[in-house]
Structure 1
Amino acid sequence: MTDGKRRRGLMAASALLGGVLVLSGCSGGDDNGSGDGGNGDSQSQVDEAAAKKSSEAQIKITPKDGSTNASINKAATVTVAKGTLTEVKLTTADGTPVEGEISADKKSWKPSVQLERATTYKLSVTAEDSEGRAAHENASFTTVSPANSFIGTFTPDDGSTVGVGMPVSINFDKAITNKAAVQKGITVTSTSGQEVACHWFNANRMDCRPEKYWQEGSTVTLKLALDGVEGAEGVYGVQQKTVTFKIGRNQVSYVDAKTKQMKVTQDGKTIRTIPISAGSPENKTYEGQMVISEKFKETRMNGATVGFTDDDGEGEYDIKDVPHAMRLSTSGTFIHGNYWGAKSIFGNVNTSHGCVGLQDVKGANDPNTPGAWFYNNSLIGDVVVVQNTGDKTIAPDNGLNGWNMSWEQWKAGSAL
Structure 2
Amino acid sequence: MTNSKRRKGLSVASALLGGVLVLSACSGGDEASGSEGNDTSQAKVDEAAAQKTSEAQIKITPADGSNNASINNSATVTVSKGTLAEVKMTTADGTAVAGEISADKTSWKPSAQLERATTYKIAVTATDADGREAHENASFTTVSPDNSFIGSFTPEDGSTVGVGMPVSINFDKAITNKADVQKGITVSSSSGQEVACHWFNANRMDCRPQEYWQEGSKVTLKLALDGVEGAEGVYGVQQKTVSFTIGRNQVSVVDAETKQMKVMQDGKVIKTIPISAGSPDNKTYEGQMVISEKFKETRMNGATVGFTDDDGKGEYDIKDVPHAMRLSTSGTFIHGNYWGAKSIFGSVNTSHGCVGLSDTKGADDPNTPGAWFFDNSIVGDVVVVKNTGDKTIAPDNGLNGWNMDWAQWKAGSAI
| TM-score (ref. length: structure 1) | 0.92
Structure 2: 5+ residue runs without aligned partners? 1-25
Letter in 1 for 2:201: N
Instruction: Tell me how far apart the structure 2 counterparts of residues 49 and 361 of structure 1 sit (CA, whole Å).
Output: 91
Q: Deviations over 1:76-108 (max 9, x none)?
A: 000000111111111100111111111111111
SS of the counterpart of 1:98? coil
Instruction: Tell me how far apart the structure 2 counterparts of residues 26 and 344 of structure 1 sit (CA, whole Å).
Output: 126
For residues 35 and 387 of structure 1, do their structure 2 counterparts lie closer, same or farther at Cα, with a shift above 3 Å needed? same
Instruction: Tell me how far apart the structure 2 counterparts of residues 202 and 138 of structure 1 sit (CA, whole Å).
Output: 44
Is 2:73 the partner of 1:74? yes
Deviation at 1:39, TM superposition (A): 2.1
Letter in 2 for 1:365: D
Deviation at 1:38, TM superposition (A): 3.0
Instruction: Tell me how far apart the structure 2 counterparts of residues 171 and 127 of structure 1 sit (CA, whole Å).
Output: 44
Instruction: Tell me how far apart the structure 1 counterparts of residues 254 and 248 of structure 2 sit (CA, whole Å).
Output: 19
| TM-score (ref. length: structure 2) | 0.92
SS of the counterpart of 2:90? strand
What is residue 248 of structure 1 aligned with on the other side?
247
Q: Deviations over 1:264-319 (max 9, x none)?
A: 00000000000000000000000000000000000000000000000000000000
Instruction: Tell me how far apart the structure 2 counterparts of residues 204 and 339 of structure 1 sit (CA, whole Å).
Output: 39
What is residue 11 of structure 1 aligned with on the other side?
none
What is residue 406 of structure 1 aligned with on the other side?
405
Mapping 1:171-250, distance limit 5 Å: 171-250=170-249
Q: Deviations over 1:205-228 (max 9, x none)?
A: 000000000001000000000000
What is residue 365 of structure 2 aligned with on the other side?
366
SS of the counterpart of 2:276? coil
Q: How many residues align?
A: 390
SS of the counterpart of 1:97? coil
Instruction: Tell me how far apart the structure 1 counterparts of residues 258 and 47 of structure 2 sit (CA, whole Å).
Output: 96
Is 2:276 the partner of 1:277? yes
Is 2:121 the partner of 1:122? yes
CA RMSD in angstroms, aligned pairs only: 1.4
What is residue 286 of structure 2 aligned with on the other side?
287
Q: Deviations over 1:236-270 (max 9, x none)?
A: 00000100000000000000000000000000000
Is 2:326 the partner of 1:327? yes
For residues 66 and 344 of structure 1, do their structure 2 counterparts lie closer, same or farther at Cα, with a shift above 3 Å needed? same
Instruction: Tell me how far apart the structure 2 counterparts of residues 226 and 118 of structure 1 sit (CA, whole Å).
Output: 18
Deviation at 1:26, TM superposition (A): 12
Letter in 2 for 1:139: A
Mapping 1:34-53, distance limit 5 Å: 34-53=33-52
Q: Deviations over 1:45-80 (max 9, x none)?
A: 111111111111110000011111000001100000
Name the stretch that deviates more: 41-50 or 252-261.
41-50
Deviation at 1:134, TM superposition (A): 1.2
What is residue 7 of structure 1 aligned with on the other side?
none
Instruction: Tell me how far apart the structure 2 counterparts of residues 146 and 168 of structure 1 sit (CA, whole Å).
Output: 24
What is residue 357 of structure 1 aligned with on the other side?
356
Structure 1: 5+ residue runs without aligned partners? 1-24
Name the stretch that deviates more: 349-358 or 32-41.
32-41
Deviation at 1:28, TM superposition (A): 6.3
Deviation at 1:413, TM superposition (A): 0.2
What is residue 62 of structure 1 aligned with on the other side?
61
For residues 404 and 26 of structure 1, do their structure 2 counterparts lie closer, same or farther at Cα, with a shift above 3 Å needed? farther
What is residue 10 of structure 1 aligned with on the other side?
none
Is 2:154 the partner of 1:147? no
What is residue 257 of structure 2 aligned with on the other side?
258
